[in-house]
Amino acid sequence: MKKYILLAALLSLAACNNSNNSYDASGTFEADELMVTAKANGTILQLNVEEGQQLSLNEKVGEIDPKNVELQKEQIIASMDAIEQKTNSALPQIQVLQTQISGQSANVSVLQEQLQNAIRERNRTANLVAKDAATKKQLDDANGQIKVIQKQIAAAQSQLNILQQQISTTKENVSIQNRAILSERKPTEKKVEQIDEQLKNYTIESPISGMVLTKYLNQGEFATVGKPIFKMANLEVMTLKTFVTGDQLPQIKIGQQVKVLIDAGEGKTKELPGTIYWISSKAEFTPKTIQTKNERANLVYAVKIHVKNDGYLKIGMYGDVKF
C-alpha cells in the first residue's frame, strides 16, 4: 500500500507565521490507495467494477477463467480413483473362511450331541454290567466310543481356531498391501489441496472496503499475474499532508487534536476535527513551485493529519490547519 498525492502540497510557511492569517499551515488531502492486481493468468470472464463504485471487504467483483487449472484437478482426481482401484479387499477370502467356520461349528455341535448320547449309553452299559446283564467288553467298547468322539471334537475345535487365525492373518496381509498402495494417495491429495488454493486466485475480490478510483482492465481482456486490474482507496478517513517550519515544530506533537479548515463555497470555510499521527524526523526543502533562491533554502518538516471524511473531502483537495 502506498501514499499517492494527486497535487503537490501548497504551502506559504513564511506567511503562515503572520498574526493576520487564520491558519498555521496548508496542504492537500490524500488517501491510502491500493492496486488490485491479477493473481493468475487468464481471460477475465467477469468484472463488475466501475470507477466511483463503493466496494465492501472481500466482495467478489470478478473472475478469471480457471479452465486449465480445473482440468489439472480433474486429472489428479482421476489418478486418485485409479489408486483406489488398485487396493485389495479381504472380504471375499473372509467370506470363504466364515463359511468354513460355520460348517465346522455345526460339526462340533453334532459331535457334542453324539458325545452326550455315548455317555448315556456308557452309563447304561455300566449299570447292566453291575447286574451281570452285560459283559465287561461292552463297557470297554462304550468308553472307547466316548474317547473317539472327544478326540473328534478336539480336532474340530482346533480347526475352528485355525480358521479364526486365518481370518486375522488375511486382514493383516491385505492391510499391509493396501497401505503401500494408499501411501501414493496422500501426496496426490496434497496436490488437490494445492490446486484448490490456486483456484482461489482466479476470483477477483476487493481487499478492503473503499471506492474504485481507476479501472485498468475490462471483461474479455487477458490478465497476467501482477497486472493491475483496478485501483481503490478507503476514503472514510483522509490524510491531510502539510509542512511546518522548525519554529512551528515545538507547537505540535503526535496525537494532538487540530482544526482543519476546508473551502465551503461563497467565501466560507468548514471546520473539521483532525489528529496528528505522524511528524517527519527529517527536514526537507519546501516542496512547492519556487520563485526565489531564499524560498528554496527554507527547510520544513512533513506532518500528516487524520481527518474523518464527512463525504465532502476528495483526494487532492486543499486544506488549512490551525494548531
Instruction: DSSP for 14-69, please give it.
Output: HHHTSTT-S-SEEEEEEEEEEEEE-SS-EEEEEE---TT-EE-TT-EEEEE--HHH
Q: What's the pTM value of the predicted model, to 2 decimals?
A: 0.60
Q: In sequence order, what are the beta bridge partners of 215? A: 230
Q: At which residue does the C-alpha cell 506567511 appear? A: 15
Residues 6+ apart with CB under 8 A from 151: none
Residues 6+ apart with CB under 8 A from 46: 62, 63, 219
Give the span between the Cα atoms of 298 and 172, in whole angstroms.
Answer: 87
Give the span between the Cα atoms of 170 and 323, in whole angstroms.
Answer: 87
DSSP conformation class of 244: E
Tens digit of pLDDT at every position of the chain (323 positions): 433 333 333 333 333 333 344 889 999 999 999 999 999 999 999 999 999 999 999 999 999 999 999 999 999 888 888 877 777 777 888 888 889 999 989 999 999 999 999 999 999 999 988 888 888 899 899 899 999 999 999 999 999 999 999 888 888 888 877 777 777 778 888 889 999 999 999 999 999 999 999 999 999 999 999 999 999 999 999 999 999 988 899 999 999 999 999 998 888 899 999 999 999 999 888 765 433 344 444 788 999 999 999 889 999 999 999 99
Q: What share of the chain is helix, strand, coil (3-state, %, to 5)?
A: 40, 30, 30
pLDDT at 224: 96
Give the span between the Cα atoms of 271 and 167, in whole angstroms.
Answer: 88
Give the span between the Cα atoms of 39 and 32, in whole angstroms.
Answer: 21
Hey, is 256 helix, strand or coil? Answer: coil
pLDDT at 292: 37
Half-sphere exposure of 316 (CA within 13 A, CB side): 3
pLDDT at 311: 87
Q: Report whether 64 contacts 45 (CB < 8 A).
A: yes
Q: Counting Cβ atoms within 10 Å, is residue 210 exposed (0-12), middle (13-18) or buried (19+)? A: buried
34-48 burial by CB neighbour count: b if 16+ within 10 A, else e?
bbbbbbbbbebeebe
Q: What are phi and psi of 95, to 5 degrees?
A: -60, -40
Q: At which residue does the C-alpha cell 490524500 appear? A: 30
Give the span between the Cα atoms of 206 and 109, in whole angstroms.
Answer: 77
Residues 6+ apart with CB under 8 A from 131: none
Q: Report whether 236 contacts 312 (CB < 8 A).
A: no
